[in-house]
Amino acid sequence: MNLYAVYQFADGSFIGNAATAKSGAPIGKTEIDGFQELITGAKINF
Amino acid sequence: MGLFWWNDGTQHKVYEGTNMVEQSRVKFLGEAKIDKEWSAGYLLEIAIQGHVANRWNQLTDSSVSPNPINRDDVTFVRKSNWYLKSKRLGQVAVGLNGMATYHLLDDADPTLTRNVDDAEGPPIFMSAFLIRSNGNFVNNLTWPNILRGFNNSTPGDAARRNVVRYDSPDWHGFVLSASWGEADVWDAAVTYKQTFGDTSILARAGYGASNDPGTLVPVPSAPYVVGGTSCISSTAVSTSLPNFECTWEAAAATIQHEPTGLFVFGGWGRQVVDTDHVFPAGTFLSRTARHGSCAPASRNNGVRSGRRRSSRRTATTTPAPTPARPSAATSISGRLASSRGSKRPT
């Protein structure tokens, strides 16, 4: 059995225009709030 | 099962579910020797997933995917293919299988951490979380809507498909692989594995192309795409047609000092899409995304910290009307860590 922990952080920005507005992306630049995640678990081989 | 603590800057929770980097699976492999050189066999690999951890979001810890294989407590066939193998000429496999560039970035990492967090790990862990801007959701856009790459939002990695795949025998550490699937999906890759004294090297590079954007399953509430390569959209094929072509390329390598287990992993991937689809007059489509991470970690574990940045560019005025220009996405990832006694998944 192996225990593990993973931490990650993500942020960024994107720029939408008329082509992407249909999918919900605002026109212009949108800054994305940072997103943090901590994952822990165990891996077991049988 | 794993615990997933998340914080999107506005709210935070802890969910419990299956780490979908490598969910539980059962593999059946039958092989028969024909003679000293030739053998043949059949591989069947079945995924067993409990509570899927890559389909939830801030609003629910249940899967929000309409695709049956992305629901909780299901089993599905990951691989099902027969093969003919020669020690001298290599192996040909026919059926549901990983393409030559399947897990190209991930499988350049032979360490233990590959099992729990690989190059596809960051987008998998982002799952279906809604993005926020200044604390507000942005028209229900999710991280996968922003990131690119048709397989787990990882540019450069291909997927499992019904293909004919060839793998050459080892030649001084080099193995060549190629696959082709119906509707013209193909790719090729080279793998190099060698040990120099106390240092081992594993490197992979590959290229693929497809003119199949997949098949739309028109679930009224939430359509989704199966098969092919949904390089532009995983919920529609209309915006990919006509004359859709998606290409991807990637390279990655791990260098490891065997006595200490210290290793460095780095990877790069890119996806480019061409289509003659006419978007609204006066616009053309061009998207990029990149992410990277490089962090120290302790021995024999998957601890890593990273930073992922993404951007999506669609802008610029051109004489109207105009067909779409190529859409591209790039990913860069890296890892510095230590691992010993590792076993790489297949």
Cβ separation A2–B309 shorter than 8 A? no
Per CB-CB distance under 8 Å, the chain A contacts of B6 are 35-38
When pLDDT is cut at 50, 70 and 90, the band that residue B76 belongs to is very high
Size of interface A-B (CB pairs under 8 A): 160
Instruction: Give the span between the Cα atoms of B46 and A36, in whole angstroms.
Output: 32
Instruction: Give the span between the Cα atoms of B253 and B319, in whole angstroms.
Output: 43
Residue B123 has pLDDT above 70, yes or no: yes
Q: Which of B113, B145, B315 is facing A17, going by the closest CB pair?
A: B315
ipTM for the assembly: 0.92
As a three-state string, the secondary structure of B211-245 is CCCCEEECCCCCCEEECCCCCCCCCCCCCCCCCCE
Cβ separation B141–A45 shorter than 8 A? no
Per CB-CB distance under 8 Å, the chain B contacts of A10 are 122, 126, 143, 291, 307-310
What average pLDDT does range A12-37 have in this prediction? 85
pLDDT value at residue B171: 97
Instruction: Give the span between the Cα atoms of B3 and B15, in whole angstroms.
Output: 6
Instruction: Give the span between the Cα atoms of B213 and B232, in whole angstroms.
Output: 8
Q: Which of B22, B305, B324 is facing A7, going by the closest CB pair?
A: B305
pLDDT tens track for B260-304: 999 999 999 999 999 888 766 544 444 433 333 322 222 222 223
Instruction: Give the span between the Cα atoms of B105 and B203, in whole angstroms.
Output: 9
Work out the minimum CA distance from B346 to partner chain A, whole angstroms: 14
pLDDT tens track for B306-329: 233 333 332 222 333 334 444 566
Average pLDDT over chain B, rounded to an integer: 83
pLDDT tens track for B330-343: 666 666 555 554 44
Q: Which of B125, B133, B279 is facing A8, going by the closest CB pair?
A: B125
Residue B64 has pLDDT above 60, yes or no: yes
Evaluate whether B174 touches B148 at the Cβ level (below 8 Å): no
In A1-46, DSSP assigns E strands to 2-16, 28-43
pLDDT value at residue B287: 41
Query: pLDDT exceeding 70 applies to what percent of chain B?
Result: 80
- Out of B131-140, B142-151, B280-289, which region has the weakest mean confidence (pLDDT)? B280-289
pLDDT value at residue A16: 83
Tokens describing residue B52: 């899927």
Per CB-CB distance under 8 Å, the chain A contacts of B121 are 6, 8
Per CB-CB distance under 8 Å, the chain B contacts of A7 are 303-306
- Out of B8-17, B42-51, B142-151, which region has the weakest mean confidence (pLDDT)? B142-151
Cβ separation A33–B131 shorter than 8 A? yes
Per CB-CB distance under 8 Å, the chain B contacts of A5 are 301-303
pLDDT tens track for B190-245: 999 999 999 999 999 999 999 999 999 998 888 899 999 999 888 889 888 999 99
Per CB-CB distance under 8 Å, the chain A contacts of B113 are 4
pLDDT value at residue B22: 85
DSSP 8-class letter at B299: B
Cβ separation B2–A38 shorter than 8 A? no
Work out the minimum CA distance from A28 to partner chain B, whole angstroms: 8
pLDDT value at residue B145: 84
When pLDDT is cut at 50, 70 and 90, the band that residue B256 belongs to is very high
Residue B82 has pLDDT above 50, yes or no: yes
Cβ separation B301–A2 shorter than 8 A? yes
pLDDT value at residue B294: 28
pLDDT value at residue B286: 44
Query: Residue B156, Cβ neighbours under 10 Å: how many?
Result: 29
What average pLDDT does range B124-141 have in this prediction? 93
Evaluate whether B222 touches B235 at the Cβ level (below 8 Å): yes
Cβ separation A14–B301 shorter than 8 A? no
Evaluate whether B184 touches B213 at the Cβ level (below 8 Å): no
Instruction: Give the span between the Cα atoms of B292 and B335, in whole angstroms.
Output: 9
Q: Which of B133, B280, B307 is facing A30, going by the closest CB pair?
A: B133
What average pLDDT does range B2-29 have in this prediction? 93
